[in-house]
């Protein structure tokens, strides 16, 4: 008896769930086309359809003509969401009649600069970044590569793949993926720097310096990028060039301790002890207690004796 009661309970629950999932069903039909701002069809747009009355919905994807269609749907209000990587998402609400043909829904999506992160892309990026943080670089490469394969407009993620290969010391492959970003953004200073780093780590110093020199100085606004380029020049004993980049990094971020410290070392290398003293005194005002501060005090003691 109990088994029979349990069977009917399970049957009832499953039937309810199935009915809920199919509550958007009816005799209506809805079609549409998605275009870009210039009127060209957009393939691969995810269309999320949600029936207000049915409290349920489903997803579709546009074909090569930018078209989509939903059949056997119920009448009433429907909420539509359109998403495609590289385009601003759009929401619409439409009314559907089951008794006659509904007009096609035309939607235009606006191209945007940079990468639009939707929930799906965010989850994939989070997975790849977590693997990278755990130093599971091969697995991170697979996760990021799958993301780019499914979202070709997310080409910037090739930088993440390059970073994985860089950590694996596979500098040829790292450079290959960094260049995929440069193909789309040839003036990207950060990626130029990373290509230069690959060359430098392969021992191709002169080529690396050529890449660093391609980066327009006035357009670099990231203190870390400036610091890294300065350090590349410093390692090559090009102290005047290094100092220019370190100075700029500190101008942009006045409490940038690494930049200030390296400025002091560079002034010592240039035998400008008076400026080195000023810079190291500035460092101690910002960082009086760290282990590096002890090194700076030793530098100051030595310089003041000279």
Output the domain CATH number for residue 258: 1.25.40.10
User: At which residue do the structure tokens 């003509």 appear?
Assistant: 65
Whether residue 133 sits in one domain with residue 65? no
220 or 109, higher pLDDT: 109
Q: What would the pLDDT profile of 245-270 be if each residue is shown by its tens digit?
A: 999 999 999 999 999 999 999 999 99
Whether residue 81 sits in one domain with residue 56? yes
pLDDT at residue 158 in the model:
95
Which of 88, 109, 130 is the endpoint of a domain? 109
Query: How many domains does one find in the chain?
Result: 3
Q: Which helix (H) or strand (E) holds 81?
A: strand 76-83
The verdict on residue 12 lying in a domain is no
For residue 7, pLDDT over 70 is answered with no
The verdict on residue 5 lying in a domain is no
Whether residue 282 sits in one domain with residue 209? no
For residue 43, pLDDT over 70 is answered with yes
For position 65, which CATH number holds? 2.60.40.10
Q: What would the pLDDT profile of 63-98 be if each residue is shown by its tens digit?
A: 999 999 999 998 888 999 998 877 888 898 889 888
- Please give the residue range of the domain that contains residue 259: 235-306
Q: Can you tell me the distance from the alpha carbon of 211 to that of 143, in angstroms, rounded to the nearest whole number? A: 29
pTM: 0.56
39-68 core/surface letters (b: 16 or more CB in 10 A; e: else): eeebebbbbebbbeebebbeebebeeebeb
Whether residue 105 sits in one domain with residue 143? no
Average pLDDT rounded to a whole number, residues 213-241: 86
For residue 21, pLDDT over 60 is answered with no
For residue 168, pLDDT over 90 is answered with yes
For residue 138, pLDDT over 90 is answered with yes
């Amino acid at each position: 008896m109990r088994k029979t009661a349990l069977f009917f309970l399970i049957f009832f629950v499953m039937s309810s769930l199935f009915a809920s999932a199919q509550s958007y069903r009816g005799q209506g039909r809805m079609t549409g086309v998605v275009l870009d701002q210039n009127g060209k069809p957009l393939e691969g747009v995810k269309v999320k359809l949600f029936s207000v009355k049915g409290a349920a919905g489903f997803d579709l994807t546009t074909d090569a003509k930018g078209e989509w269609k939903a059949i056997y749907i119920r009448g009433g209000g429907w909420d539509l969401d359109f998403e495609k990587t590289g385009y601003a998402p759009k929401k619409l609400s439409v009314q559907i009649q089951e008794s006659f043909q509904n007009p096609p829904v035309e939607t235009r999506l606006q191209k945007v600069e940079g990468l639009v992160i939707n929930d799906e892309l965010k989850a994939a990026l989070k997975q790849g970044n977590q693997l990278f943080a755990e130093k599971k670089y091969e697995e991170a490469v697979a996760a990021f590569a799958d993301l780019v394969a499914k979202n070709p407009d997310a080409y910037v993620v090739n930088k993440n793949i390059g970073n994985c290969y860089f950590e694996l010391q596979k500098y040829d492959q790292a450079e290959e993926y960094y260049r995929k970003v440069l193909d789309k953004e040839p003036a990207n200073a950060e990626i130029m720097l990373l290509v230069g780093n690959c060359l430098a780590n392969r021992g191709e110093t002169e080529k690396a310096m050529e890449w660093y020199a391609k980066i327009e100085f006035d357009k670099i606004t990231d203190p870390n990028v400036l610091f890294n380029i300065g350090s590349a020049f410093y390692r090559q004993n090009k102290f005047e060039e290094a100092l220019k980049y370190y100075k700029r990094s500190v101008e942009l971020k006045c409490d940038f301790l690494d930049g200030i410290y390296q400025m002091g070392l560079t002034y010592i290398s240039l035998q400008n002890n008076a400026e080195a003293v000023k810079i190291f005194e500035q460092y101690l005002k910002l960082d009086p207690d760290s282990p590096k501060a002890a090194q700076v005090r030793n530098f100051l003691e030595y310089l003041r004796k000279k």
